[in-house]
Structures are given as C-alpha cells and as structure tokens.
Structure 1
Amino acid sequence: MRLQNELASAPNLALRMGDVRIGGWQVRESAMDKLTRAPRALTANDLKPNLRQKGVDIRIGLDIARLSLNDTVRSLVVVTADTDFVPAFKFARREGIKVYLDSLGKRVLPALIEHSDLRLSEIPTHDEVKRERQRRRRQRVRERRETSATEAE
C-alpha cells in the first residue's frame, strides 16, 4: 500500500488501479509438482485464489488517447506485457507520440513490440523463455535427487 501511495503522488506518473475479482481457485505450481510425484488429497495450502484485475486496460487506453489528442505529451512510457494495449499504442503513434515500452523482463508478443517505438528493458524471446523454463526444471530435478540422496543416508 505504501508503494501505491508513493506512486500515486509521484510527479509525471499516473497510477491506474482497477477492481480485483476472484475467478475461482487454482492449484499452486509447487503443490502440482508434489501431487504428480505422489498423489494425495488436496489441502487448503495447495490452493491459491485466481485473482483478476478488471477495468485497468480501458482506463489506461483512454488516458493514452486523451493525452495524444490534447498534445499534452510528446512521449509515453507504458509498463506492460499486455497486447490489449496495441490499439492505444497505434493511436498514440498516429498522433505523433513516441511510445516507450517496458515489460519488466516479461515476454511479450511481437505485436506489442511492433507498435512501440523503443523497448526500455530487454524482452526475452519465446526461445529464451523456453530455455529458462527447461533450466529451472533441470535444477528442480537435481535438487530433488540431492534431497532423496540425503534422506537415504
């Protein structure tokens, strides 16, 4: 909450927050790994709420359009990996606004990159994401083997 308050009061920055809705429950990834190795009944700790934020995309899209039409800005920095912003990016760029994209390292689809003028953080490719997932899987397998070997001693 403190971070949100600081961002909301920062100069030259707009914080847009929507409504949080619970869209059911999902099994945690760590629990899924354990359940696939040794099936058992689910517990409350195995679950997490599937939270969805509603209304933020449209608010930001409207802000981008308003700022573009009013000649209020010459450039925008948008922190997202969400392709729902492509129409807003296109609109702003047609109005002569430079759109800078920062995905905070998350993988984004090519359409979002295509409709931004500059990427501020390195955006991993699909292959890089795939290799990283495989590396993490191998690491987890190694850790499990080490744990099993230690327990066997």
Structure 2
Amino acid sequence: MQKRGIDFRQSDTFKWMNVFLEELKKRRKIALRMGELSDEFAHFSISPDVVKQLFLGKKELANIREDDFTISFSQKGVDMKIGIDIASLAYKKQVDQIILISGDSDFVPAAKLTRREGIDFILDPLWASIKPNLHEHIDGLRSNWKKLPAVSPQTEETQEH
C-alpha cells in the first residue's frame, strides 16, 4: 500500500458541510456551536468487518485496501456547551421550540429537561439513525437538509450499500 497524504478539505463532504454551515449562519434564531477537531487524537481504524474476515481467514493482510479503513476525529466540550445553552433557554422560557441538529444520545438529559419545561424538542440527525433512548425523549424527528450519498473520504467515490 502506498503511503500518501489525504487533504479532507478537498472532499465533497467537507465542501457540502461548509455550504451547509454557512447557510445555517444566515438563518434567524440560529445558535451554531462549533467544536475544534484535535489532530492529536485523529486516527485510522480498520473496519470491524475486515477484522472479522482476517480472523476467519477470508481475507489476507496483503489484500487490505485503503477503503478498509476509516478515519476518526475527536472534539471535546461541545456537547457540554450545547447542553448548557439548551438548559439556559429552557429554564428562562426564552423559546418555545428547540431544534437540535445531532444524533448523539449524550443529549438525552437536555431533551428530557427541555420537554419537562414545556418546550418542544425537535431533532434533526441529518439522516443518521438514532438510539431508542434518544428517540424516546424528543417531540419530533425531521431531517430537512438534502441527503448526500455515502462517500469514502479517501477516494470521494460513492460507495455501494
């Protein structure tokens, strides 16, 4: 396998996300909380399916391909900041509806608090599936933004599912 750098800023996903975030910033009554990705914790992981194939002898190490890996980034502290914002809005009765764009079940406590305060809590997970415990504590589930086809960040080719 040839070693090479990958500039994720050139990916269709990165470009789409920037357009999406710029559109959000232009909207009324939008609070956008952005984290920063840490290069320190970025890493590539081999797909669990590929690991299973290796252990079962269905795949050889020599046959590992670039698309057998995914990259993982970490960001810290953003969930807490959003949770505090949600709690503040709910307790001060400054809103009658909160729409959260996320699918992270770390927001279950914020969703529960919001609903206890009589505020509608709508979730837009951008077409991702969410865990049942999060679904249980929301008032609505909507994905209003255009769904992108799944792409490989390494090749930017549409993957077959």
TM-score scaled by length of structure 1: 0.64
2:79 matches 1:62: no
Runs of 4+ in 1 over 3 A off after TM superposition: 31-38, 41-49
Question: Please, which of 20, 23, 44 is the counterpart of residue 37 of structure 2?
Answer: 20
Cα 1:3/1:103, change in 2 over 3 Å: closer
Residue 86 of structure 1: aligned partner: 108
Q: Which runs of 5+ in 1 are unaligned?
A: 122-138, 141-153
Partner of 1:9: 26
- What is the match of residue 51 of structure 1? 73
Q: Write the letter of the residue equivalent to 1:19.
A: E
Q: Percent identity?
A: 34
Partner Cα distance (1:46, 1:118) in 2: 36
TM-score by length of 2: 0.61
Q: Deviations over 1:126-149 (max 9, x none)?
A: xxxxxxxxxxxxx77xxxxxxxxx
SS state at 1:101 partner: strand
Contact kept, 8 Å, 1:19 with 1:55, in 2: the verdict is: no
Aligned residue-pair number: 123
Higher relative contact order (CA 8 A, sep 6+): 2
Q: Is the 8 A contact 1:81 1:107 kept in 2?
A: yes
The aligned runs of 1:2-151 (5 Å cut-off) are 2-21=19-38, 22-27=41-46, 37-40=59-62, 49-121=71-143
Instruction: Tell me which protein shows more helix as a share of its residues.
Output: 1
Gaps of 5+ in 2: 1-17, 144-159
Secondary structure at the counterpart of residue 19 of structure 1: coil
CA contact (8 A) 1:68 1:97 kept: yes
